Amino acid sequence: MNIHGLRFCVIGGGIGGLATALALQVRGAQVTVLEQAAELTEVGAGLQISANGMTVLRALGVAEGRPAFGQKSFGTVLCDYRKGRVISRVPSPAAGSTYYYHRADLLDLLHKAALRAGVELCPGSRVTEVRKHPGEAEIVLEGGERLRAECVIAADGGRSAIRPILNGLETPAFTHQVAWRATIPWNRPEHMPRAALTMGPGRHVVTYPLRDQSQMNIVAIEERSDWHEEGWRLEGDPVDLRARFADFGGEVGDILAQVQNVNIWALFLRPVAEKWQNGRLALLGDAAHPTLPFMAQGACLALEDAWCLARAFEAQPGVAQALAAYESARKARARKVVAAAGSNARNFHLRGPMRLAAQAALMALGPRLAQRYEWIYSYDPTA
């Protein structure tokens, strides 16, 4: 299908939304991105882009050669919580290196690339409704303004306001897990920087460097039932964080001691959407397949979606056929990756004899552990 001049509206100016807009615009479409925030601000902290996501960034022209702002990873060390003892070292996947980005830096790269390509960005645009018509879709904005497009892509996150249009109201399930996130200044650069996964009973901490190792990113997960609020911007108490992870020693204990500002949010489980599209409107990224953070694949799946969606329009004769092909191509893989992330949550938080047995297995299998998930990292949506 020749999409030259075809009008698209993308709802959401995050990583998935901007990547989708760029992938469609460079193929000749006219793309408008509707972002409810008044401006693109430094939201979130670090994220990991493994080889399957990097292939898309390179294809989009925003990560050629040494990726700007990205910190190359040389693998992961698995540690015990008490003294930070290294249990095992996991090398980089055979498919290629993972890169650590500050979310704001990656958004900035995609934002600038989208503007250069001619994407129209409309901050402060809150969508309240999307209506399907025979030849187009109608978008209703807060305040009553109406827009028309041949196709609408909802990339508005895990708590998508658009997803209920296709799937009805859904009640998310609380996982009884709470996440803390923070960044701190860092001045201990390593020649071969790695992520560290430090595991304890009912808790784990992931740390990795950002911005040429001038910052350290921290994500700490604990099992608890007394906090139920979602939201990336909720402020937590660093004193409370340290108290809850007081028995974590070694380098991770030193890192937690330096936290001055921290955010906290409860983790809720939402299923992969049963219905992704209706012939004019389609879900993308977390709006279609929200995932727990235990495989670090949320952003990568959104990048895969973006490329596969744009490719579907090249291969199919019409909008409805392209959206149906996109859903068919993506649903099974999304379900499998989301399930893998869910199982990792249990593996990271083992207690008692099971934890000791798991550590023994990790010591033996660590160098080969990356092979277990090679099916995730080796997937190339641009091939």
Domains of the chain: 7-43+103-171+271-346 (3.50.50.60)
The 10s digit of each residue's pLDDT in 28-59 is 999 999 999 987 665 668 999 999 999 999 99
Q: What is the DSSP letter of 243?
A: H
SS3 (DSSP) at 358: helix
* Closest to 252 measured CA to CA, from 293, 196, 187, 194: 196
> Which residues pair with residue 89 across a beta bridge?
77
355 class by beta-carbon count within 10 Å (0-12 exposed, 13-18 middle, 19+ buried): middle
Q: Which pLDDT score, from 0 to 100, does residue 43 have?
A: 62
- 383 residues of the chain, pLDDT tens digit each: 899 999 999 999 999 999 999 999 999 999 999 999 987 665 668 999 999 999 999 999 998 756 667 899 999 999 999 999 998 888 899 999 999 999 999 999 999 999 999 999 999 999 999 999 999 999 999 999 999 999 999 999 999 999 999 999 999 999 999 999 999 999 999 999 999 999 999 999 999 999 999 999 999 999 998 888 887 678 999 999 999 999 999 999 999 999 999 999 999 999 999 999 999 999 999 999 999 999 999 999 999 999 999 999 999 999 999 999 999 999 999 999 999 998 877 777 777 767 667 666 666 666 677 688 999 999 999 99
0.75 exceeded by pTM: yes
The 10s digit of each residue's pLDDT in 128-147 is 999 999 999 999 999 999 99
State the DSSP H helix or E strand holding residue 220, giving kind and residue range, or none if neither. Answer: strand 215-223
> Which residues pair with residue 122 across a beta bridge?
34
Alpha carbon distance 52, 336 (integer Å): 15
Question: Taking the CB of residue 226, how many other CB atoms lie within 10 A of it?
Answer: 7
| Structural tokens at position 156 | 């508005």
* Closest to 154 measured CA to CA, from 134, 175, 136, 127: 127
Alpha carbon distance 106, 227 (integer Å): 30
Where do the DSSP E strands lie in 64-145?
A: 71-72, 76-80, 86-90, 99-102, 120-123, 127-132, 137-141
CB 173 within 8 A of CB 322: no
Alpha carbon distance 35, 42 (integer Å): 14
